[in-house]
Structure 1
Amino acid sequence: MFSEINTKLIEIKGDLRKKQKFEAQIEDFQKEYKVVEERIAQLQKNYKSEEKDVTQLEKMTLKNLFALLSGTKDEKLSKEKQELIAAKHKLEEASKTKSEINKAILDLKNKLHTLNNVESSYKQLLSEKEKMIKASHSPHADKMFELSEQEGILKAYIQELEEAIVAGTRVKHDLLEAQTSLEKASNWGTFDMFGGGSISSFVKHQHLDEAEASIHKAQTSMRYFQKELLDIKEEAHLEIDISGMLKFADFFFDGFFVDMMVQGKINDSLEQTKSQLTKVSEILSDLTEQFEARKGEVETIGHERKELIESL
C-alpha cells in the first residue's frame, strides 16, 4: 500500500511542476509575442518608407535626369533597392517568428489543459496519506512519506534538467551547422576577393543561404531552450543572460543583403556564432553536472528507503 501511494505522489509532484512550468512559459511567450508585434509594426513602416524611396528614384524627374546623366542615379537606386530587400527580409523574418511563438503558446495551452485537475488530485492524495499515517502503527511511516516527497521533487527536477539538455543540444547542433556554412562562405569570400569570379560569388552566397537557414533554426531552438531554463536556472544556480541569448541572431539578419557582401561582415557573423556556441556549451556542461548530481541524490534516497523497509 505504501509503495502504491509513494508512486502516485512522485507522479503528481511531477505534474504539479509541469503545470507551473507551462504557465511560466506561456507568460514569457506572451511577453515576447507583444515585443515581436511592436517590431513588425515598426518594420512595416520601414518597408513602406524604403518602397517609397525606390519608387521616387524610378520616376523620371528633372533631378533624377541630372543624376542619371552624371552616372549616380543607378548607383543610388541600386543601394535603395538593396535596402528595400533588406527591410522586406527583416519583416518576413519577424513575421515567421511571430507565427512560431503563436504556435508555441497554443501547444502549451493544450498541454496545460490536460493538467487542470492536478491540484485537487494532489490534495486528495495528501488526505489519503494522512489517513494511512494515522492508521499505521509503524514508527517509520512519517519518514517513509518524507522520503517519497523528496524523491518526487527530485525526479521532477531531473526531468526538467533532461528536457533543458535536449533543447540545448538542439541549439548547439543548429549553431554548428551555421558555423560550418559561414566558414565555407568565408573561405569562398576570400577566394572571391582575389578574383574568383562569378562562380566563387555564387558558391559563397549559397553557403550564406545555408547559414541563414541554420541561424533561424538556432534562434527558434534558442527560444525553446530559454523557456526550458526559466524554472530551473535559479535552482541550478546558473548565471544566464536570457535577453542576450534571444537576440543573438540580430547581428546576422540586420543588414544581411546590404553589407553581407563585405568579407568582414561574414567573419563577424562567424565569430558571433562561435561565441554563442561557447555559451551554450558551457550551460549544457553545467546542466549535465546538475543532472548527474540529482540522479545520485535519488539513488541515495532509494537506498535509505530500502534500508528502512528492511529494518521493519
Structure 2
Amino acid sequence: MFSEINAKLVAIQGELRKRDKYKAQLMDYQKELETIEDTLSQLRTQIESEKEEVEKLEHFSLTNLFATLSGTKDEKLSKEKQEMIAAQHKLEKAKKTKMEIDEAILGLKNKLLNLKNAEYEYQQVLIQKENMIKSSTSPFAEKVFELSEQEGALKAHITQLLEAYDAGKRVERALSESISSLEKAENWGTWDILGGGTISSIVKHQHIDQAESDLHRAQTSMREFQKELLDVQETAFPEVNISGMLKFADFFFDGFIADFMVQGKIKGSLDQTRGHRAKTNDILLKLEAQSEKNKKELEKIQNEKQGIVERL
C-alpha cells in the first residue's frame, strides 16, 4: 500500500510541476504576443506611409516637378521604394512569428486544460497519505512519505532539465545550419565584390535566402528553448535578422558600395550567430551537469527509501 500511494504522489507532483511550467510559459508567450502585435501595427502604418510617399513621387505635383528639375526625383523614389519593400519584408516575418506564437499559446492552453484537476487530485492523495501515516504502527512511515516527496520533486526537475537540454540541442543544430548558409553567402559575396557577375550575385542571394530561413527557424527554436529555461533560471537570446532592404539594394543596384554593405551585414550576422551558438553550448553543459547532479541525489534518496521499506 505504501508503494502505491508513493507512486501516486510522484506522478501527481510531476503533473503539478508541468502545470506551473506551462503557466509560466503561457505568460511569457502572451507578453511576446503583445510585442509582436505592436510591431505589426507599426509596420502596417509605416508601409501605408511609404506607399503615399512613392505615389506622390510617381504622380504630378509641384513637389514632384521641383524634384524632377533638381535631379533628385529618381534618387528619392528609389529610397522610398527600398524602405517600403524592407517594411513589407519585415511585416511578412512578423506575421509568421505571430502565427507561431499563437499556435504555441493554443498548445499550452490545451495542455493546461488537461491538467485542470491535478490540484484536486493532489489534495485527495495528501488526505490518503495523512490517514495512512496516522493508522500506521511503523515509526518509519512518515519518513518514507517524506523521501517520496523529495523523489517526486527531483524526478520532475530532472525531466525539466532534459526537456530544456533537448530544446537547446535543437537550437544548436539550427544555428549550425544558419552558420553554414551565412558562410556560403559570405564566400559568394566576396566573389561578387571582386567582379563575379550576375551568376555570383544570384547564388549569393540564394544562400542569403537560405540563411534567413535557417535563422528564422533558429529564432523559433530559441523561443522554445527560452520557455523551457524559465524553470531553470537561464536567460533568453536576442533575435538575429538579415535586412531585406540591404538585400534589395544589392540585387537591383549592383555596385561596390551596396555589395560592401550587404557583405558587412552577412559578416555581422555570422559573428552574432556564432556567438549565440557558443552561448547555447555553454548552457547545454550547465544543464547536463545539473542533470547529473540531480540524478545522483535521486539515486541516494531512492536507496535510502528502499532500505527503510525493506525493514518495514
Q: Do these two structures clear the TM 0.5 threshold for a shared fold by scoring above it?
A: yes
Q: Report if aligned partners of 1:82, 1:257 keep a CA contact under 8 Å in 2.
A: no
Q: Report if aligned partners of 1:85, 1:257 keep a CA contact under 8 Å in 2.
A: no
Q: Report if aligned partners of 1:167, 1:224 keep a CA contact under 8 Å in 2.
A: yes
Q: Which amino acid is 1:257 matched to?
A: K
Once the two structures are TM-superposed, the CA of residue 60 in structure 1 deviates from its matched residue by: 4.1
Q: How does 1:297-308 map to 2 (within 5 A)?
A: 297-308=297-308
Change in Cα spacing, 1:256 to 1:288, as seen in structure 2 (3 Å) is: farther
Residues 25-75 of structure 1: CA deviation (Å, up to 9, x unaligned): 111111111111111111111111111122222224465456557764334
SS at match of 1:196: coil
Q: Report if aligned partners of 1:83, 1:257 keep a CA contact under 8 Å in 2.
A: no
Change in Cα spacing, 1:286 to 1:166, as seen in structure 2 (3 Å) is: same
Deviates more, 1:26-35 or 1:197-206: 26-35
Q: Report if aligned partners of 2:57, 2:77 keep a CA contact under 8 Å in 1.
A: yes
Q: How does 1:65-76 map to 2 (within 5 A)?
A: 67-68=67-68, 72-76=72-76
Structure 1 residue 28 corresponds to structure 2 residue 18: no
2:239 paired residue among 248, 252, 269: 248
Residues 202-222 of structure 1: CA deviation (Å, up to 9, x unaligned): 010000000110111111111
Change in Cα spacing, 1:254 to 1:193, as seen in structure 2 (3 Å) is: closer
Q: How far apart, CA to CA, are the structure 2 residues paired with 1:57 and 1:174?
A: 43
Question: What's the C-alpha RMSD, in Å, of the aligned pairs?
Answer: 1.8
Change in Cα spacing, 1:113 to 1:253, as seen in structure 2 (3 Å) is: farther
Change in Cα spacing, 1:254 to 1:13, as seen in structure 2 (3 Å) is: farther
Q: Which amino acid is 1:215 matched to?
A: L
Deviates more, 1:116-125 or 1:135-144: 135-144
List alignment gaps of at least 5 residues for structure 1.
none
SS at match of 1:137: coil
Q: Which amino acid is 1:223 matched to?
A: R
Deviates more, 1:40-49 or 1:260-269: 260-269
Q: How does 1:71-86 map to 2 (within 5 A)?
A: 72-86=72-86
Residue equivalent to 2:290: 290
Deviates more, 1:276-285 or 1:148-157: 276-285
2:247 paired residue among 257, 267, 286: 257
Structure 1 residue 274 corresponds to structure 2 residue 274: yes
Q: How far apart, CA to CA, are the structure 2 residues paired with 1:215 and 1:64?
A: 41
Q: Report if aligned partners of 2:178, 2:211 keep a CA contact under 8 Å in 1.
A: yes
Q: How far apart, CA to CA, are the structure 1 residues paired with 2:245 and 2:32?
A: 23
Once the two structures are TM-superposed, the CA of residue 268 in structure 1 deviates from its matched residue by: 0.6
Residue equivalent to 2:311: 311
Residue equivalent to 1:93: 93
Once the two structures are TM-superposed, the CA of residue 197 in structure 1 deviates from its matched residue by: 0.4
Q: How far apart, CA to CA, are the structure 1 residues paired with 2:166 and 2:78?
A: 45
Structure 1 residue 192 corresponds to structure 2 residue 182: no
Q: Which amino acid is 2:199 matched to?
A: I
The alignment of Structure 1 onto Structure 2 pairs a total of residues equal to: 302
Q: Report if aligned partners of 2:82, 2:249 keep a CA contact under 8 Å in 1.
A: no
Task: State the TM-score, normalized to the length of structure 1.
Answer: 0.91
Once the two structures are TM-superposed, the CA of residue 154 in structure 1 deviates from its matched residue by: 0.4
Q: Which amino acid is 2:242 matched to?
A: F
Q: Report if aligned partners of 2:85, 2:245 keep a CA contact under 8 Å in 1.
A: no
List alignment gaps of at least 5 residues for structure 2.
251-258
Residue equivalent to 1:158: 158
SS at match of 2:137: coil
SS at match of 1:248: coil
Task: State the TM-score, normalized to the length of structure 2.
Answer: 0.91
